[in-house]
Homo-oligomer: A and B are copies of this chain.
């Protein structure tokens, strides 16, 4: 193991990310917790945990168990292609190879911090590529807007605390433009995309064009992703495993990532 660790440390040093990102080749958890504080779409049913039993049983030992309910599309979750595309895979039928692999962590925090309605453009990705290299084919593209820092403050994260239809009209957070979504699937042939906001489309969207382009191209979408600031821009490996809901349009997602090394590529 030693030589690989040394290589990674050198790589980190060369990339200038040693202090900011995860060290020692550790997995980074990119999922938020589910609780009553979890951010949901204004019209979605929130996560609710109900106690079945917590305490000492008649037999004299400790026992705890709960049940819960939630909308599929809240917290850190996946949109299956079927969410916006009738012929698309439901969440239980997404091939595992679409959910695991090499990733890049793009970063448009600067633009998004100046404009809550920012739409990420093809040019933004091209500028990112000029600095970090071309997005490899079959990559998982993670998009950092910096809005993960606002979690779980709905007013800052979504643009509003209002619930219901009134809240939907007040959503202000950045997203992916339709043109950039098309470019990612046709010009970079990515396998999945993730973002640190509540939706791959920006808050003011009502036509959900990025969702429709991506799902029609069988591209799973990870939303409300966390901790992207802990990853380097490239050499990242992602494992994103959704709850296996038969016929589901999406669902809770546990997504983790680590710095990539040659051993991991060999194991893909």
**A residues in contact (CB < 8 Å) with B:** 1, 4, 25, 27, 29, 31-35, 44-45, 49, 52, 59, 61-73, 76, 82-86, 92, 96-97, 100, 206-208, 212, 237, 239, 241-252, 254, 256, 258, 261-267
Residue of B nearest to A80 (CB): B64
Q: List 6 A-B contacts (CB under 8 A).
A: A49-B248, A64-B86, A96-B256, A242-B254, A244-B252, A263-B263
Residue of B nearest to A207 (CB): B59
Contact assessment for B69 and A69 in the assembled complex, using a CB-CB cutoff below 8 Å: yes
Contact assessment for A34 and B245 in the assembled complex, using a CB-CB cutoff below 8 Å: yes
Contact assessment for B49 and A247 in the assembled complex, using a CB-CB cutoff below 8 Å: yes
Contact assessment for A67 and B71 in the assembled complex, using a CB-CB cutoff below 8 Å: yes
Contact assessment for B256 and A35 in the assembled complex, using a CB-CB cutoff below 8 Å: no
Contact assessment for A67 and B68 in the assembled complex, using a CB-CB cutoff below 8 Å: no
Copies of this protein, total: 2
Contact assessment for A72 and B63 in the assembled complex, using a CB-CB cutoff below 8 Å: no
Chain B neighbourhood of A258, CB < 8 A: 267
Give CA–CA (A175, B77) in the complex, Å.
34
**Of listed A237, A248, A258, residue having the most chain B CB within 10 A:** A248
Contact assessment for A83 and B61 in the assembled complex, using a CB-CB cutoff below 8 Å: no
Chain B neighbourhood of A245, CB < 8 A: 33-35, 49, 66, 68
Give CA–CA (A161, B1) in the complex, Å.
50
**A243-B252 contact in complex given A68-B69, A84-B63, C-beta closer than 8 Å:** yes
Residue of B nearest to A38 (CB): B246
Chain B neighbourhood of A76, CB < 8 A: 244
Task: Name A65's contact: one of B1, B83, B243, B266 (CB within 8 Å).
Answer: B83
